Amino acid sequence: AQSVTQLDSHVSVSEGTPVLLRCNYSSSYSPSLFWYVQHPNKGLQLLLKYTSAATLVKGINGFEAEFKKSETSFHLTKPSAHMSDAAEYFCVVSRINDYKLSFGAGTTVTVRA
């Protein structure tokens, strides 16, 4: 079965410093991987996606993620955090054959002024 593990439930950073959110995946085939962001009481917004093209994926709002097959990881980074980045982030993997998704437990990001 396909699954993801988000290694940090909570990450706190200072404004202007880098952000790193860690995600490991488990899949018996080459998966599609995604990062979503959710601000309080809002729906989920797609940040970026990996679908077997370039391993370094650039997304919206300055985020990017690198697919590393040897490490089964898909970590999300941003060089400089902004206050508006405070939100919950979900790492997501596609499930085989049925177009459903498996979600990680989420990482809450706090940005300190």
Partner 1 sequence: SQTIHQWPATLVQPVGSPLSLECTVEGTSNPNLYWYRQAAGRGLQLLFYSVGIGQISSEVPQNLSASRPQDRQFILSSKKLLLSDSGFYLCAWSDGQRYEQYFGPGTRLTVT
Which residues are near partner 1 by CB under 8 A?
32, 34, 36, 41-46, 49, 51, 90, 94, 98-101, 103-106
CB of 40 to partner 1, least distance (A): 10
Residue 62 CA to residue 94 CA, distance in Å, equals 24
Q: In terms of CB distance, is 25 or 81 closer to partner 1?
A: 25
Q: In terms of CB distance, is 24 or 32 closer to partner 1?
A: 32
Q: In terms of CB distance, is 39 or 69 closer to partner 1?
A: 39
CB of 22 to partner 1, least distance (A): 16
Q: Which is it for strands 87-94 and 101-103: parallel, antiparallel or unpaired?
A: antiparallel
Residue 75 token pair = 């970590």
CB of 100 to partner 1, least distance (A): 6
Residue 45 CA to residue 35 CA, distance in Å, equals 9
Q: Which is it for strands 10-14 and 107-112: parallel, antiparallel or unpaired?
A: parallel
Residue 54 CA to residue 52 CA, distance in Å, equals 7
CB of 52 to partner 1, least distance (A): 11
